[in-house]
Structure 1
Amino acid sequence: MSNLPLYRDPWAKLDAWRKSPIFQKTTVVRNMFPGFGIAVVAFTAYVIADNVYSKSHKKEENSHH
């Protein structure tokens, strides 16, 4: 006898797309907001630079008057 299973799913080929790595939950969540990570880093750098600039600007104003 052959080693084939007794039951074959006729829809197996049509449902194979569901097991593709493109449609896994982690991939979908990661790709839900493209560019979000870069935006967070850019905004954080902007806030830090603004705080440093405003602190140095306040020191300059106080020393001149």
Structure 2
Amino acid sequence: MSNLPLFRDPWAKREAWRKHPVFSNRAMFANMFPGFGIAVVAFTAYVIADNVFLKSRKQEEHH
């Protein structure tokens, strides 16, 4: 062992919450926009369905 004195942080227990996974940057970003992923999927499905429906409707009108 080394002869250096051992210094302990008396506030370590009180600061431990900052390193908890709930407060990580990834978790904070994921919770910033709740439902955003579902909204993107729903909007994409709507646009695709609308384009398919309008294409078939336009073809029927021209014939």
TM-score (norm 1): 0.86
**CA–CA distance in structure 2, aligned partners of residues 26 and 55 of structure 1:** 41
Matched residue pairs, number? 59
- Alignment TM-score, normalising by the size of structure 2: 0.89
Return 5+ residue gaps in structure 2 as ranges: none
Aligned residue for 1:13?
13
* Alignment RMSD: 1.0
Helix, strand or coil for the counterpart of 2:57? helix
> What percent identity do the matched residue pairs reach?
69
2:47 corresponds in structure 1 to: 47
Q: Give unpaired runs (5+ residues) of structure 1.
A: none
